[in-house]
Structure 1
Amino acid sequence: MTTQTLRAEVLGAQAPGRPARAAVLAAASLTIMAPALIAPSLPAMAGHFRDETLVRLALTVTSLAIAVGAPLAGALADRLGRRLVLLAGLVAYAVAGTAGLVVTGLGTLLATRAALGLAVGAVTTAVGALITDWFTGPRRATYLGYQQAAASLGGVVLLPLAGLLADVGWRAPFWLYAVAAPVAGLVLAAVPRSGSARAEGRRPAASDAPAPGTNGRVLGLYALALVATAVFFMAPTQLPFLLGGLGVGPGVVGVAIAGSTLTSLAGSLAFPAVRRRLSPTAITLAALALLGVGWALIGRADGLGLVVAGLLVGGIGVGLTVPNLNLRLGDLAPAGRRGQVLAGLVAGIFLGQFLSPLAAGPLVAAVGPDGAFTAAGLLTTAGAALAAPFLLRPHRGR
């Protein structure tokens, strides 16, 4: 491939039409909260299968599969093209997600939930890589904010529906995964066939190698994503049981959890403006502080009102965190390895989801769900406050 041809391909990829952008953002809306759509059904599922521990695993095994499968999806996206990986992921999403409507054994259900996780990993990685390929500079920040906003909007719409369907029966929320089928049709029709440079036969160039010191920064961002997500994912895994103890039904649980995604949507839409005013480090610290304060409020709640307030505050923090990390990694990643680098962020986010109930379990057993939220909130806020003087101090020579 000549340099002129490669440059033309890249410029073409950076100017997608509105239908292509809409299709990719529609796919993004199915990602972040996909494992949590069955959260309102967890108590009823535990009663049906008579195994509360494994039923909780039905939610988190999806996150583990996403974390495991995302690096492979990133490598395939770099080699075969983003569009193909996105389409395959959406089709698998619809099939594996709706399988919960018919499976009878808990082991089979766990297997289909793991397959769903592989599909979500492919979709999330391909969406992030496409947006980062298409845009640069401020427009990249804007569309990465839109990506997280779309994911949050999916939670705002689908989680309350999941709660209402859970009142009908614990299997009913599995119908929601079928929405991936029409989204796949939209992607097929609208997203152009622009693959990666490797898919076109180009050998990895010297520019595909990371700059000195980049690997350490990338790993640090992965670790930050894991910790922040582990704290945030206490909402779908622990909140149904906390609210159940307050006499709140599954329908209200779904609406309450959706509240956090609603303010996450607001935080994501505000991210481009915030990024113009604050450094990436300042955004990270402020977002973690908001998450911590929100979770501390939940821990102190004696009714639904303060729980909702805590979810709203914490949701803003998450809405700022994810696009900020996406933007920083997109800027650090060489073009030929962008899918793999962004896949690591997906792995960190969903590994945090998987580890969240495992890490919170002993704490919940010791101090209860409310005490666990209080402890997580205080630790998160204290960590941001202690790190701020070191991370925000002026550096000589800058």
Structure 2
Amino acid sequence: MESISRTTEMAVWRDGRAVALLLAATLTVMANATISPALPGLQQLFANDPHSALLTRLLVTAPSLSIALLAPLVGVAVDRIGRRVLLLAGIILFVIAGSAGLYLPDLPTIFMSRIVLGIAVALIMTAQTALVGDYFADEARNTLMGLQISARNFGGLTFILLAGLVAAVSPRWAFGVYGLALLVLPIAWMVIVEPRRALSVRQSGPTSGFEEQRKWRLSFLGLVILQSLTNAFFFIIPTQLPFFLDFQGYNSAAMTGMTLSVLMFSGGSVALVYARVQRVMGYAGVYAAGYAAMASGFLVLVISGTPLLTLAGAALIGAGYAAISPTFVALTLALAPSNHRGLAGGVLTASVFTGQFISPLLSTPVIMSTSYEGLFLCTAVLLASMAVIALGATLLRARQMRPLI
């Protein structure tokens, strides 16, 4: 079994299409969290804006708004128009909108550029998810799902470290990091081809898939809601942690960059072995372990009084989230009919960013009524409850599969 897993991983790495999709995956995490180390500096830079406190926080999640609204429509376009052209268009738009904060004059216009950036991310993520389903299946698909989350985390680690360094000079310089996406464009252009399956669906039009859709849509709806909630919890870190660290008297730009880098590194390391872990624990077991790790991480943040404890909490949260995230995509691609993979990928993408966008809207009132520690404690309790539910499902399934003697 171990040799089969290694053979599959090697085959995926040798596939140029997989490499291009992994590189594109790094852009999605760059979209939001890259500018987190620059948030306090941006708030000071635009201190004359009466809404600067809220707008600077929303700059992280602003792309999530347009993604949440448009990703399902983008998914339909991906099924009808094709995967390749929309993926390439998304990368080009990503570079233009992402770097606009270098020169735009005020927070409202920067906020609007972040909304446009969300359109680019919707194009990239939706096309990418559909391409993974078209190009790969079974063990290779699960392996690529884990590698994709790993690529996002290790890419995020690089981008956030770089953004933290340049934000110490000027908060605007963090937007220049988005120009690195230009390196992905020629690679994707050369190796990504339109899948035969996508072409046949586009030419023949929609099939009579109502009965097929009715069988999977309820399970898919459950995944969408759960993923949105999970991302709302996870995005407490990039949206609120910089201000928590600033409140505690740290050099927030440097410490935020370091903390988010640890989060990304731990998540990337866990995601590398996702396929093997999932094969042993099953999907419910992965959910139980992932939510338990995230709950533990937020609990550590409650008691953190030193930088080391803060980094440990971030590492646990990153590891737990990286274990959970590939499962949503893997289950969606297993559930969705081939001619609806673009739509399913779009809706799933929308759920990710809906959770991200509402995260500061939900967490900020909790902070105002209690404290940062109160927010972390409430989050830990909710995540622990989700872990217990997933563990119960795992034990029930194990009991049902136990042979009768």
**Fold-level match, TM-score > 0.5?**
yes
Q: Distance in 1 between matches of 2:111 and 2:130?
A: 29
- Would the aligned equivalents of 2:135 and 2:195 in 1 still touch at CA under 8 Å? no
Task: Go from structure 1 to structure 2 and tell me whether the alpha carbon gap of 1:391 and 1:15 turns closer, same or farther (over 3 Å shift).
Answer: closer
Deviation at 1:198, TM superposition (A): 5.1
Contact map agreement 2:159 2:177 (CA 8 A) in 1? yes
Deviation string 1:122-161 (CA, Å, 9 cap, x unpaired) is 1111111111111111111001111111111111111111
Q: Deviations over 1:56-95 (max 9, x none)?
A: 1222111111222211221111111111111010000000
Query: How far is the alpha carbon of 1:361 from its aligned partner?
Result: 0.8
Partner of 2:265: 262
Q: For the structure 1 residues 18 and 394, does the alpha-carbon distance in structure 2 shift closer, same or farther, using more than 3 Å as the test?
A: closer
1:201–1:359 distance in 2 versus 1, CA, 3 Å:
same
Map residues 1-398 of structure 1 onto 2, 5 A cutoff. 18-50=15-47, 51-194=52-195, 196-197=198-199, 200-206=202-208, 210=212, 212-249=214-251, 250-386=253-389, 388-390=391-393, 392-394=395-397
1:30 deviates by 0.9
Question: Which range moved further: 383-392 or 71-80?
Answer: 383-392
Question: TM-score scaled by structure 2?
Answer: 0.90
CA distance in 2, matches of 1:278, 1:395: 10
How far residue 245 of structure 1 moved from its aligned partner, in angstroms, is 1.9
Name the % identity.
Answer: 32
What TM-score do you get using the length of structure 1 for normalisation?
0.92
Q: Distance in 1 between matches of 2:74 and 2:169?
A: 36
Q: Which runs of 4+ in 1 moved over 6 A?
A: 14-17, 395-398
SS at match of 1:393: helix
Once residues 174 and 28 of structure 2 are traced to their aligned partners in structure 1, the CA distance between those partners, rounded to angstroms, is: 16
Secondary structure at 1:31 match in 2 = helix
Q: Which has the higher helix share?
A: 2
| Cα distance in 1 for residues equivalent to 2:188 and 2:273 | 27
Change (3 A) 1:191 1:209: farther
Distance between the aligned counterparts of 1:119 and 1:66, measured in 2? 9
Q: CA deviation at 1:16?
A: 11
Deviation at 1:289, TM superposition (A): 1.3
Higher deviation after alignment, 249-258 or 161-170: 249-258
- How many correspondences in the alignment? 385
Query: Within 2, Cα distance between the matches of 1:194 and 1:212?
Result: 26
Bigger mean CA deviation after superposition, 143-152 or 90-99: 143-152
- Is the alpha carbon distance of 1:209 and 1:186 closer, same or farther for their aligned partners in structure 2, counting shifts above 3 Å? farther
Structure 2, unmatched stretches of 5+, are 1-10
Q: Structure 1 residues 263, 160: closer, same or farther in 2, change over 3 A? A: same
Q: Tell me, in whole angstroms, the C-alpha distance in 2 between the residues paired with 1:395 and 1:211.
A: 29
Q: SS at the partner of 2:193?
A: coil
| Aligned-pair CA distance for 1:278 | 1.5
Q: Residue by residue, what CA displacement relative to the aligned partner does 1:202-241 show, whole Å, maximum 9, x if unpaired?
A: 2333468535442111011011111111111111111101
* Structure 1 stretches lacking a partner, 5+ long: 1-13
